[in-house]
Amino acid sequence: FEALGRRVDLHAAQGFSADCPELMAKPARARLACCVLLLLHGVRGTQGQRPGSTLDHYKAPTVSRVHPIHEARHTIWPSGNERCVSGHQSALHYHSSDFELQWLKQSAAGKICRIAATQIEDASMWLKYAARANANVAAHSRSSYAAVPGRSPLKYQPLLPVGPSAAQQAVLSRFDAGDEVHTYIEPLTGLARHPRSNWCGIRFGPRHHDPRFDHSGYDTSYVIFENHCDAHGRTRPLCDAGGRRLFFDLGCTVYDNGKPLSVSKGRSLGPSIPAFAQLFERRCIEFDRLFAWEAKPMDGAAWWASVPLRMKERLTFFNTPVVESAALRTGEGPAEGIHSPTSFLALLNATATPADFVALKVDIDGGPELQIVRSIARTPALASLVDELFFEYHFDFDNATTGWGDPANPRFPGQQENVDDALRLMHDLRRVGIRSHFWI
């Protein structure tokens, strides 16, 4: 094998131009050894090369230099060329699509539904891509670690990466890592929901309802998630051997509410822990640790009764309100909050590292949600820890009665802000490399 190795390395240095003709003329055992060594050489050649960004997952084949996730046509990528997934990179450049800029370049306050109505046709391109991304399944199936028997399917098919068409790319926003690697994401809009959400019916009232706004306000099929599957539906490893996949859920309610839960089309309505776990596992992201908070007092035995064993071993549940320091709550800055023993941000800072993939869901009605999200956007040390963020932003939806009550309700301090404030903060998160999504 050492002799064969030297000869394989020699051929490698010559570009394998002769395809090992001498070795292939040897007996079958030698030919097998040659093939093994050739494969090992290919693997060895890619080890130790840490990609320069979160999005630089693959080394392109010679026939194309387009990232496979973003290529319109299907490409089979040799397994030896597949790259690992890097930790968070703040150097990514965020590019807002023209669709998104229609919201950012003007004040949308007082005209949310008016602007949304002009975008219905273009939004179909975004929704078609999201539907493809939620339906391009692998042939094989895996067992879910989060599904509750009788509530969700116990097996799922991983979602293969799929690229948008040219028309879809024009509507979607994206993260750029150099000139050749792009990762797409849904554009930010003032609806903060599905682009055809019936919230505009709520805004205008029954006599002025636009029938094109015909989707539930709880339809999440518009969200374009991070995907760690390779072209064959296998999980691509994190580049750092010590990196983990972590999920933090601020406002989780129960684990099982006794009702069916389905995420097959990207939609989710129900307990958030199993919903997010299943949405992500379909994209080859199985969380190593999950941390969840719920302020409403729960019966501990009942709460844990339906949690699957594989989930129990990795889930930490805090039946307490999410709190931050007084300095953080009053907007005086996040430094003190990071070190407070009762702070969520302190736990995030102590638990996660930039080598980890971290997803965070924030939906704590009346809690310090705005302060937490702002601190992450404005503090590089915290921003470097979060890769994907889902936020139900409780802002003033043009004085409409929304799912979180009266705009003047003091329980929701965020409702003192309008749609422009919401768009600005979500855009700031994306500018520091965080895949931020308006959630329900």
pLDDT score, position 92: 79
Average pLDDT, the chain: 79
pLDDT score, position 72: 30
Enter the tokens of residue 317: 């549940």
* Residue 59 scores a pLDDT above 50: no
Enter the tokens of residue 277: 């776990």
pLDDT score, position 423: 98
Provide mean pLDDT across the span 33-45.
46
More confident residue, 173 or 37: 173
Provide mean pLDDT across the span 400-423.
68
User: Which stretch of 59-68, 145-154, 226-235 has the lowest confidence by average pLDDT?
Assistant: 59-68
- DSSP alpha helices (H): ranges in 313-351? 326-329, 335-339, 344-351
Enter the tokens of residue 64: 């194309």
More confident residue, 281 or 211: 281
Provide mean pLDDT across the span 103-120.
95
**pLDDT for 348-396, tens place per residue?**
999 999 999 999 999 998 789 999 999 999 999 999 999 999 999 999 8
What is the pTM (predicted TM-score) of this model?
Answer: 0.79
With bands split at pLDDT 50, 70 and 90, how would you rate the model's confidence at 208? low
User: What percent of the chain stands above pLDDT 70?
Assistant: 70
Output phi, psi for 237, to 5 deg. Answer: -75, 160
Provide mean pLDDT across the span 120-137.
96
pLDDT score, position 65: 24
Provide mean pLDDT across the span 69-74.
31
Cβ atoms of 212 and 194 closer than 8 Å = no
User: Which stretch of 29-38, 114-123, 213-222, 336-345 has the lowest confidence by average pLDDT?
Assistant: 29-38
**pLDDT for 267-287, tens place per residue?**
566 799 999 999 999 999 999
Provide mean pLDDT across the span 112-140.
95
pLDDT score, position 84: 84
**pLDDT for 135-177, tens place per residue?**
999 999 999 999 999 988 999 999 999 999 999 999 999 999 8
Does the CA dihedral 120-123-128-130 come out positive or negative?
negative
N residues, the chain: 440
* Residue 198 scores a pLDDT above 90: no
More confident residue, 226 or 262: 226
Cβ atoms of 138 and 158 closer than 8 Å = yes
Q: What is the four-CA torsion angle of 66, 67, 69, 70, rounded to 10 degrees?
A: -40
pLDDT score, position 157: 97
Q: What DSSP designation does 79 have?
A: G
pLDDT score, position 149: 93
Cβ atoms of 389 and 376 closer than 8 Å = yes
With bands split at pLDDT 50, 70 and 90, how would you rate the model's confidence at 199? confident
194 CB-side CA count, 13 A: 23
Provide mean pLDDT across the span 296-324.
96
pLDDT score, position 4: 43
With bands split at pLDDT 50, 70 and 90, how would you rate the model's confidence at 41? very low
pLDDT score, position 97: 98
* Residue 431 scores a pLDDT above 80: yes
35 class by beta-carbon count within 10 Å (0-12 exposed, 13-18 middle, 19+ buried): middle
pLDDT score, position 413: 53
Task: Tell me how far CA of residue 128 lies from CA of 40, 156, 181, in angstroms.
Answer: 41, 22, 22
Distance, in Å, from the CA atom of 89 to the CA atom of 433, rounded to the nearest integer, reads: 6
pLDDT score, position 68: 32
* Residue 410 scores a pLDDT above 60: no
